Copies of this chain bind each other. A is one copy, B any other.
């Protein structure tokens, strides 16, 4: 039986080497009416080809011949979703022989953080080529964990990305990539609350953040709320990860 030609599929597979693809899990912060807090959202694209035609999947594509892995991820992100991430880090390489029903594919998956404003562009900005693109949609991260209609093993990949994000947020340096250049400490607390999915004491959070993270105060304040205007802060540190590059400006 071994080596039989009966199962053409298997025989073919042995000949051709595994294909390489690069995909990305993108996270952004958005208002969540259900909790009243900010929540984590992520965009998915609808597949336009077999296999899994019509189902939602992570944005991704083949590895360009001359791009580095991270460049390939960034380029593909721009092409498929119009997003330019503020942060891009390698997540994991998925290479299970059975993860694609057709030819074997090894996917190197990145995870990205985009700012709330950037994320809105894909929907509302007139300049965006993806305005009203029905093949890109945003989902609550918690919902995706439940959805079972994602292509390939993408549901599992998203689970893992969430796990990594939650384990990483403690290192600081994540929050400001989901926010703008300047931000209030309450906004940072919002990020932590969204990622960890629980409320935090404002007083203690403030103290810990000021003591630990590389955040420095500016002279500016944010007015407009019906309360005392909070001071704006700025991030001054850099990645602690030796293999990942700095924030993309």
A96→B70 CA distance, assembly (Å): 9
B106 touches A20 (CB 8 A): yes
Q: What chain B residues lie within 8 Å of A3 (beta carbons)?
A: none
Which of B17, B96, B159 contacts A20 (CB under 8 A)?
B17
Q: What chain B residues lie within 8 Å of A243 (beta carbons)?
A: 92, 160
Assuming the contacts A20-B20, A63-B106, A160-B243, asked whether A68 and B92 have C-beta atoms less than 8 A apart, the reply is no
Which one of A13, A63, A67, A93 has the greatest number of beta carbons of chain B within 10 Å?
A: A93
A53 adjacent to chain B (CB < 8 Å): no
Q: What chain B residues lie within 8 Å of A66 (beta carbons)?
A: 13-14, 97
A95 touches B63 (CB 8 A): yes
A225→B191 CA distance, assembly (Å): 54
Q: What chain B residues lie within 8 Å of A96 (beta carbons)?
A: 68-69
List the B residue with the shortest CB-CB distance to A69: B95
A243→B99 CA distance, assembly (Å): 14
Chain A contact-residue range equals 20 to 34
Q: What chain B residues lie within 8 Å of A147 (beta carbons)?
A: none
Chain B nearest CB, measured from A25 CB (Å): 14
Q: What chain B residues lie within 8 Å of A86 (beta carbons)?
A: none
Chain B nearest CB, measured from A70 CB (Å): 9
Q: 8 Å CB contacts to B: which residues of A88-142?
A: 90, 92-93, 95-97, 104, 106, 108
A65 adjacent to chain B (CB < 8 Å): yes
A237 adjacent to chain B (CB < 8 Å): no
A222 adjacent to chain B (CB < 8 Å): no
Chain B nearest CB, measured from A110 CB (Å): 10
List the B residue with the shortest CB-CB distance to A99: B68
A219→B75 CA distance, assembly (Å): 59
Q: What chain B residues lie within 8 Å of A69 (beta carbons)?
A: 93, 95-96, 106
B14 touches A65 (CB 8 A): yes
Q: 8 Å CB contacts to B: which residues of A42-63?
A: 63
Chain B nearest CB, measured from A9 CB (Å): 12
A1-27 CB mask vs B (1 if < 8 Å, else 0) is 000000000000110011110000000
B90 touches A92 (CB 8 A): yes
B65 touches A13 (CB 8 A): yes
A67 touches B97 (CB 8 A): yes
